[in-house]
Amino acid sequence: MNINPMRVRDLARILIAWSAAICVIVISPAVHAAKGLPSPIVETADGPVLGTVTDTIGTFFGIPYAAPPVGGLRWMPPVAPAPWTTPLDATAFGSECPQGSSTDEDCLFLNVYVPTKALESRRHRYPVMIWVHGGGYVEGAGSQSDPTRLVTMGNLIVVTINYRLGALGFLAHPALSAESSYGGSGNYGIMDQQFAMRWVKENIAAFGGNPKNVTIFGESAGGHSMFSNLVSPTAAGLFHRAIIESGSYEPILPTLAQAEAHGQSFAGAVGCSDQTAACLRAVPVSTVVANQAMIGIQDLLGMVATPNIDNYILTQSIGTALSSGQFNRVPVVDGTNHDEVRVFIALAADLGAGPLTAAELPVLADFFFGSNAPAVLAEYPLSDYPSPDLVAATSFTDYLFSCNALSADQAMAKFTTTYAYEFADENAPNGSPPVSFPYGASHAFELQYLFGATPNPAFAPGQLELSDKMIDAWTNFATDGNPGEGWKPLNRSADGFFESLVPPKPIHEAVSAFSADHKCSFWLALPAD
């Protein structure tokens, strides 16, 4: 059979692009408080905000937690917004940060969801969760996830945030580094997240929240952000627990020098041959977004944007910090989905140029794994799988997500309470076009079990029960550090159990069984290419 190498390379590039996929959840329009309900006005340190209150929940949308990062503040650390005195209309979401659907750099907003009872007696301090959205660090917004069920079932407060994305959030460049007090650049999106955490620490008591009981959680790039904040010295004291969903894909971060080299290529592409910060700040935002792929460190995921070791926000790679215990030692829940990469293969292959062929597998493996490709193909022989698509999806899932998560969990368990899970509902609803293989428990498919004003109507009874159990576990952990319902932390010798999230209720899975299922001994022994 003839092999078209360009098709394989195109498939690989499409797969990389779709790694930014996130789950978007539609949120119902806000309405003003009815008569007899608590006041919808809350005093923050920056000024009063006017939200919406119903008989169950209060919502405060589009609160600016930092000044617009425009003009001279583009590619600078976030600073406080200008204060106001007239109540700010907080009944509509603020702009998303620049991406395909937005070119508005004035985007550093957060949204607060509060049980109505918290607003009735603001002396009671409710637990707080801060949600950091996914989207490959290039898309997404806090407004795209509705935490209503978490708030009402868990009896706690949830804050969702925007943060700078793509080149605007993660461009490193020598000219920008020369301006900074620490000699680095590029981690502005993580700085935004930490600035939002500081806003919560200062302001959440006014909403009835407990600033001393804050859990951060996120999925995909948001999950990777959780790891970044866990190992960031500048995040110390800003949160008390962390939940990580599918964030284990990149434990080794690019160096500042690597990131700056890509930043120089980006500068040339946007017309800044003089490589100056002034020129970069004058580039139209649409041009920045159109060319931001130039800043990517093209590793296995080929991420367009990612944090780097800037020697301030991040002083070492995630994996290194976890292994040495040099991280913020708060209790952690960390997990992945059993079939993470199937949705990416579906989008890149079946729904694009068509299913992978047997002849294309070695070419694709060589593209991603280099000299290790023959060993990978021997470990995942086509004869063991129904199709080439599933060879690729399974091997990529095991390498990128499952085994990296296991390594992180075993490292963290030596220093702090660590719970591990795997979302494994093989029949999770997805709403995607049919392809030549089952989607299974793919990337982001667990989000519908946690978010939404109402349960997914496509849920079977057992899936609805699993959704309730997951919400209970997430909110129990945020309340007192224990997910409950029999969850067991890994012990310090790093054996024990994963919690397998299957309907109708989670079951225990031995770490050894999880490791064998995902061939982690093979991946951990594979030499660096």
Give pLDDT tens digits for 12-48: 555 555 444 434 333 333 445 556 899 999 999 999 9
**Which residues lie below 8 Å from residue 253, measured CB to CB, with a gap of 6+?**
306, 307, 308, 309, 314, 317, 318
- Quote the pLDDT of residue 61: 98
- Quote the pLDDT of residue 307: 97
- The full set of domains in the chain, from first to last, is 5-20+331-525 (3.40.50.1820)
**Which residues lie below 8 Å from residue 383, measured CB to CB, with a gap of 6+?**
none
Could you tell me where the DSSP H helices lie in 244-387? 256-269, 277-282, 285-290, 318-324, 342-345, 360-369, 373-379
Confidence band (pLDDT; 50, 70, 90) for 496? confident
Q: Find the mean pLDDT for residues 149-168.
A: 98
Cα 305 to Cα 217, 256, 495: the distances in Å are: 20, 13, 34
Q: Is 220 a catalytic residue?
A: yes
This prediction has a pTM of: 0.94
User: Over 60: is that where the pLDDT of 298 sits?
Assistant: no
User: pLDDT, tens digit, for every residue of 327-380?
Assistant: 999 999 999 999 999 999 999 999 999 999 999 999 999 999 999 999 999 999
Confidence band (pLDDT; 50, 70, 90) for 123? confident
User: pLDDT, tens digit, for every residue of 450-460?
Assistant: 999 999 999 99
| Sole residue written with tokens 């700056």 | 260
Confidence band (pLDDT; 50, 70, 90) for 297? low
Q: Find the mean pLDDT for residues 485-504.
A: 89
Q: Give the tokens for residue 491.
A: 């012990």
Residue type, 323: S
Residue among 424, 353, 423 at smallest CA distance from 389: 353
Selecting among 177, 220, 442, 500, the annotated active-site residue is: 220
